[in-house]
């Protein structure tokens, strides 16, 4: 699991991280979970659907899906084609529908219909990678985790907190930089900040509250 390797951190970078965290705390003292859900299972399904899809679109689709089936038992009883038809607007519908159906059956067969609070068990489920498992562990169970999606990966590079090599390295770097007790809130703060101030396109580093102070020089060329 990413995070077990050590990352060497300079005093200057640690101070920068603390200042960035202070800015995020001021801007986002409270951070609601972006994906609508009612329990660990519906969160797991919503996170799976969010792959290459916006949270906003997922939140429009899941009420229809969960009205049909909102437990592993109910979902297992549905035809994959029925699930696929509902979730089609989220993209990758055939693959996601199959994963939702299969993981629901596994939860019934192996875990008494409950989402396991265990890294290895979660990551072994169909369609569930490390990032999805991290979101569930963090947001459903309150376990320390630092889910790194493409947005957090991008911002960590822009702010000089990681080298941008890959999301695994970014996760290790951020975990080493920030206190463990801040991870669950901080990853959501970064997501909200990225959407409001630091988007992938049309980003003006001069106006960004963080990039204007800590952004890499390449951003200003």
pLDDT tens digits, residue range 100-151? Answer: 999 999 999 999 999 999 999 999 999 999 999 999 999 999 999 999 998 8
Looking at 139, 165, 188, the residue that finishes a domain is: 139
**208: confidence class by pLDDT, cuts 50, 70, 90:** very high
Whether residues 184 and 135 fall in one domain: no
pLDDT over 70 (residue 3)? no
Exposure of 217 by Cβ count < 10 A (0-12 exposed, 13-18 middle, 19+ buried)? exposed
pLDDT of 5: 54
Q: Is 1 contained in some domain?
A: no
Q: Select which of 16, 96, 131, 175 is catalytic.
A: 131
Q: Is 131 known to be catalytic?
A: yes
Whether residues 95 and 64 fall in one domain: yes
| Domain assignment of residue 202, given as a range | 11-32+145-220
Whether residues 82 and 106 fall in one domain: yes
pLDDT of 9: 81
Total domain count, the chain: 2
Average pLDDT over residues 86-106: 98
Q: Select which of 16, 96, 149, 175 is catalytic.
A: 149
67-83 residue pLDDT tens:
999 999 999 999 999 99
From CA 158, how far away is CA 119, in angstroms rounded?
Answer: 30
From CA 150, how far away is CA 51, in angstroms rounded?
Answer: 11
Q: Is 74 contained in some domain?
A: yes
155-175 residue pLDDT tens:
999 999 999 889 999 999 999
Q: Is 175 known to be catalytic?
A: no
Phi, psi angles (nearest 5°) of residue 155? -70, -35
SS3 8: coil
- The per-residue pLDDT of the chain, averaged, comes to 95
Looking at 139, 167, 189, the residue that finishes a domain is: 139
Neighbours of 133 (CB within 10 A): 24
Contact residues for 100 (Cβ-Cβ < 8 A; gap 6+): 45, 48, 75, 83, 87, 127
**Percent of all residues in the chain with a pLDDT value above 70, rounded to a whole number:** 96
Dihedral Cα 86, 115, 182, 5, nearest 10 deg: -110
Average pLDDT over residues 1-30: 84
Whether residues 100 and 186 fall in one domain: no
Average pLDDT over residues 207-212: 97
């Amino acid at each position: 699991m990413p995070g077990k390797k050590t990352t060497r951190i300079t005093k200057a970078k640690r101070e920068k991280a603390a200042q960035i965290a202070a800015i995020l705390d001021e801007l986002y003292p409270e951070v609601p979970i972006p994906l609508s859900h009612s329990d660990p299972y519906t969160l797991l399904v919503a996170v799976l659907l969010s792959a290459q899809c916006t949270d906003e679109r997922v939140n429009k689709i899941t009420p229809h899906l969960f009205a049909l089936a909102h437990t592993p038992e109910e979902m297992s009883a549905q035809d994959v084609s029925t699930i696929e038809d509902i979730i089609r607007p989220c993209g990758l519908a055939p693959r996601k529908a199959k994963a939702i159906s299969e993981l629901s059956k596994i939860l019934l067969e192996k875990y008494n219909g409950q989402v396991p609070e265990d890294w290895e068990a979660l990551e072994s489920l169909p369609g569930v990678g490390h990032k999805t498992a991290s979101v569930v562990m963090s947001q459903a169970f309150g376990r320390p985790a630092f889910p790194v999606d493409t947005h957090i990966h991008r911002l960590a590079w822009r702010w000089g907190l990681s080298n941008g090599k890959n999301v695994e390295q970014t996760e290790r770097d951020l975990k080493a930089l920030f206190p463990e007790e801040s991870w669950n809130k901080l990853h959501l703060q970064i997501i909200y900040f990225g959407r409001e101030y630091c988007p992938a396109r049309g980003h003006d580093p001069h106006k960004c509250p963080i990039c204007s102070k800590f952004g890499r020089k390449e951003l200003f060329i």
